């Protein structure tokens, strides 16, 4: 079967995390992508403790969840697991 081509917008990438950027980002989402279901994912690994976390937020539904993965996981595994969680 053939899946439709995914569209990924990287225009906000590299803008930094300065104060006020969250408001800019929310405005960007509402203006350019307001008609889409917005799934925000994150996978992180603490370099000191080695703890690995994933998170998922669906803004329009007011839904968020997060969980820990095994400490041996890489940050790349965490990012992929967060995306897989969003797709389910």
pTM: 0.64
CA 80 – CA 8 distance, rounded (Å): 15
pLDDT on residue 19? 57
pLDDT of residue 46: 93
Strand order in 63-69's β-sheet? Answer: 39-45, 52-58, 63-69
Q: How many Cα neighbours within 13 Å face the side chain of 79?
A: 3
| Average pLDDT of the chain to the nearest whole number | 84
What pLDDT, on a 0 to 100 scale, did the predictor assign at position 23? 78
Helices (H), the chain: 21-33, 75-87
Q: Band of the pLDDT at 17, cuts 50, 70, 90?
A: low
User: What digits encode the pLDDT tens for the residues 28-77?
Assistant: 777 777 788 888 899 999 999 999 999 999 988 999 999 999 998 999 99
């Amino acid at each position: 079967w053939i899946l439709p081509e995914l569209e990924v917008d990287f225009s906000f990438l590299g803008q930094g995390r300065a104060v006020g950027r969250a408001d800019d980002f929310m405005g960007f989402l509402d203006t350019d992508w307001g008609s889409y279901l917005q799934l925000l994912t994150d996978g992180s690994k603490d370099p000191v403790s080695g703890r690995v976390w994933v998170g998922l937020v669906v803004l329009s539904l007011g839904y968020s969840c997060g969980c820990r993965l095994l400490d041996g996981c890489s940050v790349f595994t965490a990012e992929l697991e967060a995306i897989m969680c969003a797709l389910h």
